């Protein structure tokens, strides 16, 4: 069967599975809608968390950015992996013990202020919409190639699928859907990686194949360094980013992880605090399978792409190039009319432009793997994008229904709150689709902005809210506002207002927009500390509550709401 047929079969089957699970596990109460009833097993929650965590940025774009950035791309691996560890060890058990469904819920109660809650809701919405834009863009890319539709149509199809199972099932439906999505995405990621590793190095383990030799006896990374060097690019194992920027981006991704609302809420779906810790451990193992494979996929992909296209006749290019040219995500332009594709670091002479987001998806085609493998990768990319999009949409709907409406209308019935949550999720799907059609960058870049916003807004007030009894509502509000506004203005200036100045010569302290969340976080911390010192201490009851949260009673039951 051809690629299109396999894609329809595998993607269609996976969609039917997701929708079937959503129908079977649909939420019947606000507790099931927000936290799946608090009865998910640690193993299942670990798989769901991994799927929630490994978005289109992880599946589609991370290996792509490493493929084209080499050493510089390692910031995404270090930041996202380290951030999850930080979240699991430092924050999750305490937030779970506090017993709140959302970050704004925690902020509102910890800082005894509805104003603080509303500011936290605004931060959550900014972060979630920025993040979900990357997911919808990923959905569009997958559909544009494999279902042979344009990217905008692909985004609309993805919107319909997410709307159905996120709005109907809530967290309960999403959780069990994400278990299935994890199985699909990890199988889809590993199968082609193993195939290509065997082809290039003879080693079936991609992580080991990355350090193995190719057919001529040269180590793969040495070969790649040489090939890129001849074309005028930096060596694959070297980097061009400054050390400060690498540190800033890694830190922003790490602490941004700890502030991501859609990941934090996953720790409320298990019965006990010790189950939250256990599910975090399971999730780390499941995440590591993909993250340790990504560098190998990146190296295999860029090596094969250059080998099959650069220096080849324009009229005799591989079939995969023609397939992706239809999507306009790869462009070949014979500038000098010599009939040969020139791939060069000089934009004036470069005749090959490859969108970095296609590298993982195109990798099986480049390596001429069986058509069913190519269709499987399409299903995996969809699973990664949709699983995270669903989690983010739930955060958006919860922020609106629980943290806004219930704040100002506390006597609202549970049935009405559930209706508002579903309406909010539907509206969020439409707005997310708009951002998917008009994205502010490639997938991993957009997601990096979301992490920067989370780092600059949520992380300081969560950390200080847990570990500082002196931290008060005035400090929290001032800190969140200052960190978020600074980060948004910096990113907007260099990415939208003056993109021609977006280079190291004009960046503050040499920090790029992707890493500015680190500076925004520091501003937040300083403002929180100074304002808290200059204003009255929290009520004694709040200080006692903070002391209680830090007592490690691992078997405490969840607080019902």
Residues 6+ apart with CB under 8 A from 256: 79, 83, 450, 451, 452, 453, 454, 455, 459, 517
CA distance 108 to 116: 6
DSSP 556: P
Residues 360/377, Cβ–Cβ less than 8 Å: yes
Pick from 412, 377, 387: which is nearest to 10 by CA?
A: 377
- C-alpha dihedral sign at 156, 161, 165, 170: negative
Pick from 279, 258, 284, 259: which is nearest to 269 by CA?
A: 279
| Length of the chain (residues) | 561
pLDDT at 555: 42
pLDDT at 556: 47
494 in a structural domain: no
- The dihedral region occupied by 244, where left means phi > 0, alpha psi between -120 and 50, and beta the remainder, is alpha
CA distance 111 to 194: 50
CA distance 484 to 451: 11
pTM: 0.79
Please state, in angstroms and as integers, the Cα–Cα distance from residue 366 to each residue in 22, 195, 317, 521, following that order.
36, 12, 11, 42
3-state secondary structure of 529: helix
Residues 6+ apart with CB under 8 A from 233: 345
Question: For each of the chain's 561 residues, which pLDDT tens digit applies?
Answer: 777 788 888 888 887 887 777 677 665 555 555 554 456 788 888 888 888 777 777 788 888 888 888 888 888 888 888 887 887 777 777 777 776 656 777 888 888 888 888 888 877 777 777 777 777 777 777 777 777 777 778 788 777 777 766 665 555 667 777 888 888 889 989 999 999 999 999 999 999 999 998 888 889 999 888 888 888 788 888 878 888 999 999 998 888 876 666 677 777 777 777 777 788 888 889 989 999 999 999 999 898 888 888 888 888 888 888 888 887 888 888 888 888 888 888 888 888 888 887 888 888 888 888 888 888 888 888 777 777 777 777 777 777 776 677 667 777 777 777 778 778 777 777 877 777 777 655 555 666 777 788 888 888 988 888 888 889 999 999 998 999 899 989 988 888 788 888 888 889 999 988 899 999 999 999 999 999 999 998 888 888 888 877 765 544 444 444
Q: Look over the chain and give the mean of its residue pLDDT values, rounded to a whole number.
A: 80
474 in a structural domain: no
105 in a structural domain: yes
Q: Which residues pair with 272 in a beta bridge?
A: 557
Pick from 259, 270, 261: which is nearest to 48 by CA?
A: 270
Q: According to the 3-state scheme, what is the secondary structure of 484-501?
A: HHHHHHHHHHHHHHCHHH
For residues 464-500, b (16+ Cβ closer than 10 Å) or e, as one string? bbbebbebbbbbbbbbbbbbbebbbebbebbbeeeee
**Residue 299, domain CATH:** 1.10.4160.10
Task: Tell me the per-residue pLDDT of 56-86, one tens digit each, with 9 for 90 and over.
Answer: 777 888 888 888 888 888 888 888 888 878 8
Residue 16 has, within 13 A of its CA and on its CB side, a CA count of 6
pLDDT at 440: 57
Give backbone dihedrals phi and psi of 313, rounded to 5 degrees, phi first.
Answer: -60, 140
347 in a structural domain: no
Residues 6+ apart with CB under 8 A from 297: 63, 189, 192, 193, 196, 206, 359, 360, 363
pLDDT at 559: 46
481 in a structural domain: no
pLDDT at 532: 93
Residues 216/482, Cβ–Cβ less than 8 Å: no
Residues 504/515, Cβ–Cβ less than 8 Å: no
pLDDT at 170: 57
114 in a structural domain: yes
Q: According to the 3-state scheme, what is the secondary structure of 79-146?
A: HHHHHHHHHHHHHHHHHHHHCCCCHHHHHHHHCCCHHHHHHHHHHHHHHHHHHHHHHHHHHHHHHHHH
Two tokens, residue 51:
């799927």
- C-alpha dihedral sign at 393, 399, 400, 405: positive
Domain that holds residue 170: 3-303+367-441
Residues 484/546, Cβ–Cβ less than 8 Å: no
Q: According to the 3-state scheme, what is the secondary structure of 443-486?
A: HHHHHHHHHHHHHHHHHHHHHHHHHCCCCCHHHHHHHHHHHHHH
Residues 6+ apart with CB under 8 A from 442: 61, 65, 137, 355, 356, 357
231 in a structural domain: yes
Cα 243 from chain centroid (whole Å): 24
Domain count within the chain: 1
pLDDT at 279: 83
DSSP state letters, 265-320: GGGGSSSBHHHHHHHHHHHHHHHHHHHTTHHHHHHHHHHHHHHHHTTSBGGG--HH
pLDDT at 38: 53
């Amino acid at each position: 069967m051809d690629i299109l047929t396999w894609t329809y079969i595998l993607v269609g089957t996976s969609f039917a599975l997701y929708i079937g699970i959503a129908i079977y596990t649909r939420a019947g109460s606000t507790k099931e809608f927000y936290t799946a009833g608090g009865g998910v097993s640690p193993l299942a929650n670990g798989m769901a968390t991994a799927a929630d965590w490994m978005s289109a940025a992880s599946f589609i774009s991370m290996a792509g950015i490493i493929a084209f950035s080499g050493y510089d791309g390692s910031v995404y691996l270090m930041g996202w992996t380290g951030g999850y560890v930080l979240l699991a060890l430092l924050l999750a058990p305490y937030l779970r013990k506090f017993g709140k469904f959302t970050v704004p819920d925690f902020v509102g109660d910890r800082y005894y202020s509805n104003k603080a809650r509303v500011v936290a809701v605004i931060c959550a919405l900014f972060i979630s919409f920025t993040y979900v834009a990357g997911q919808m863009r990923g959905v569009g890319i997958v559909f544009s190639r494999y279902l042979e539709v344009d990217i905008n149509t692909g985004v609309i199809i993805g919107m319909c699928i997410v709307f159905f199972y996120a709005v109907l099932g809530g967290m309960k439906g999403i959780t069990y859907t994400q278990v299935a999505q994890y199985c699909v995405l990890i199988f889809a990621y590993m199968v082609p990686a193993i195939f290509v590793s065997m082809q290039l190095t003879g080693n079936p383990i991609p992580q080991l194949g990355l350090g193995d030799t190719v057919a001529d006896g040269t180590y793969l990374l040495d070969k790649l360094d040489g090939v890129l060097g001849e074309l005028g690019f930096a060596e694959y194992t070297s980097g061009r980013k400054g050390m400060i920027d690498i540190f800033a981006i890694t830190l922003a991704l790490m602490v941004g992880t700890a502030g991501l609302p859609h990941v934090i809420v996953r720790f409320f779906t298990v019965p006990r605090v010790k189950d939250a810790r256990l599910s975090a451990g399971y999730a780390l193992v499941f995440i590591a399978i993909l993250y340790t494979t990504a560098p190998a996929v990146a190296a295999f992909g860029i090596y094969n792409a250059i080998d099959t296209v650069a220096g080849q006749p324009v009229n005799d290019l591989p079939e995969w190039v023609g397939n992706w040219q239809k999507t306009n995500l790869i462009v070949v332009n014979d500038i000098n009319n010599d009939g040969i594709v020139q791939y060069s670091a000089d934009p004036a002479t470069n005749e090959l432009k490859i969108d970095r987001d296609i590298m993982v998806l195109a990798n099986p085609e480049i390596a001429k793997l069986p058509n069913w493998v190519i269709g499987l990768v399409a299903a995996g990319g969809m699973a990664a994008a949709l699983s995270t999009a669903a989690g983010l949409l739930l955060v958006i709907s919860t922020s609106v229904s629980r943290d806004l409406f219930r704040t100002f209308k506390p006597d609202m019935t549970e049935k009405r709150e559930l209706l508002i949550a579903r309406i909010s999720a539907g509206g969020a799907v439409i707005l997310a689709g708009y951002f998917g059609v008009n994205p502010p960058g490639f997938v991993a870049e957009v997601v990096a902005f979301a992490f920067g916003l989370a780092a600059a807004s949520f992380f300081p007030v969560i950390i200080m809210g847990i570990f500082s009894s002196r931290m008060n509502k005035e400090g929290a509000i001032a800190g969140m506002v200052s960190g978020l506004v600074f980060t948004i203005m910096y990113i907007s200036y260099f990415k939208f207002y003056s993109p021609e100045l977006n280079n190291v010569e004009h960046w503050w302290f040499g920090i790029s927009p992707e890493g500015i969340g680190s500076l925004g976080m520091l501003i937040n911390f300083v403002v929180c500390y100074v304002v808290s010192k200059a204003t009255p201490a929290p009520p004694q009851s709040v200080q006692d509550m903070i002391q209680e949260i830090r007592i490690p009673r691992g078997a405490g039951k969840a607080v019902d709401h």
